[in-house]
């Protein structure tokens, strides 16, 4: 194989391998590289050779040298190689997600600015090392509707792109046109598929429906952050009563929905 063919073959294989390490689609990778999706496909299928600036961008994202990208088969390096090489590849593989934080005072503006890059850039950010690669956002909640999760807690959510992926009774941060930002459990409405039923953990609050058409964003709750000694104190009787009330609510809802 000629040198140019070898370089082109390695570039295509490595680009595909690195993209899949992060779990990115070709569209997502193209956006990060600021090129068309069709070009990513052409590079991976070795129908075109990546431009120098594209290869430099890839090297920067994955913290590898241009020489490694062009002349090594990184999939082999990852599965074999010495200990330090494997460690380096593991670090390259793990992208630490940056989490934008939406405090209570920004919740009203978030309804109109949730898709505005300038608004989002103004939000404070933080990272959590235990998170898998993905798109995350954090929301401060107030009120007692989700007790025993106390007011002032921060819900870290992972972006859910398709309402079909909702899991009944799981907790989500929901952004809707009429309700703004709320943190609730969700039940799919089997009778009216364009409706979602939002349920509070505190049984004193009645469930209510929202139209799927009004839902702008859904974030699956993955972590709850709160200050130490912040939560309410419950005795066993209170907790048992809350659990029983919640179970009765869910059973009644299931009967209605089915």
User: Where does CATH 1.10.260.40 sit in the chain?
Assistant: 3-93
Mean pLDDT by 10 residues, the chain (258 residues): 64 88 85 91 89 89 85 70 52 69 93 89 88 88 94 95 89 95 88 85 93 94 87 59 69 68
User: Where does CATH 2.10.109.10 sit in the chain?
Assistant: 98-257
- pLDDT value of position 242: 63
Residues 6+ apart with CB under 8 A from 89: 74, 77, 78, 81
Per-residue exposure over 103-124, b if at least 16 CB sit within 10 Å of its own CB, e if not? eeebbeebbebeeeeeeeeebe
Q: Does domain 3-93 have CATH number 1.20.58.1030?
A: no
- pLDDT value of position 84: 46
CATH superfamily label, 98-257: Umud Fragment, subunit A (2.10.109.10)
- pLDDT value of position 89: 57
- pLDDT value of position 79: 54
Q: Would you say the pTM of this structure is higher than 0.85?
A: no
- pLDDT value of position 152: 94
Q: What's the 3-state SS for the chain?
A: CCHHHHHHHHHHHHHHHHHHHHCCCHHHHHHHHCCCHHHHHHHHCCCCCCCHHHHHHHHHHHCCCHHHHHHCCHHHHHHCCCHHHHHHHHHHHCCCCEEEEECHHHHHHHHHHCCCHHHHHCCCEEECCCCCCCCEEEEECCCCCCCCCCCCCEEEEEEECCHHHCCCCCEEEEEECCCEEEEEEEEECCCCCCEEEEECCCCCCCCEEEEHHHEEEEEEEEEEECCCCCCCCCCHHHHHHHHHHHHHHHHHHHHHHC
Residues 32, 18 contacting (CB under 8 angstroms): no
Strands, sheet with 98-102, edge to edge from the N-terminal-most edge strand: 125-127, 98-102, 136-140, 154-160, 215-225, 171-176, 180-188, 195-199, 208-211
From CA 43, how far away is CA 49, in angstroms rounded?
6
Residues 114, 137 contacting (CB under 8 angstroms): no
Nearest in space to 198 (alpha carbons), one of 188, 185, 211: 185
């Amino acid at each position: 194989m000629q040198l140019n063919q070898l370089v082109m073959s390695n570039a295509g294989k490595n680009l595909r391998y690195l993209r899949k390490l992060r779990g990115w689609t070709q569209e997502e990778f193209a956006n990060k590289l600021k090129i068309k999706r069709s070009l990513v496909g052409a590079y991976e299928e070795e129908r075109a050779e990546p431009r120098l600036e594209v290869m430099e961008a890839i090297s920067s994202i994955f913290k590898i040298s241009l020489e490694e990208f062009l002349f090594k088969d990184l999939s082999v390096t990852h599965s074999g190689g010495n200990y330090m090489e494997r460690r380096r590849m593991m670090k390259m593989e793990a992208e630490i997600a940056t989490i934008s934080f939406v405090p209570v005072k920004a919740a009203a503006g978030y309804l109109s600015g949730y898709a505005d890059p300038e608004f989002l850039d103004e939000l404070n950010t933080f990272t959590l090392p235990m998170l898998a690669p993905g798109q995350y956002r954090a929301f401060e909640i107030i009120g007692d509707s989700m007790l025993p999760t106390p007011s002032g807690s921060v819900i870290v959510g992972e972006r859910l792109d398709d309402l079909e992926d909702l899991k009944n009774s799981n907790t989500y941060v929901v952004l809707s046109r009429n309700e703004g930002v709320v943190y609730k459990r969700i039940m799919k409405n089997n009778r009216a598929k364009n409706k979602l039923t939002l349920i509070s953990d505190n049984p004193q609050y009645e469930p209510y429906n929202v139209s799927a058409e009004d839902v702008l964003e859904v974030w699956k709750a993955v972590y709850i952050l709160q200050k130490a000694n912040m939560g309410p104190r419950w005795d066993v009787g209170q907790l048992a009563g809350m659990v029983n009330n919640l179970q009765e609510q869910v059973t009644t809802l299931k009967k209605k929905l089915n």
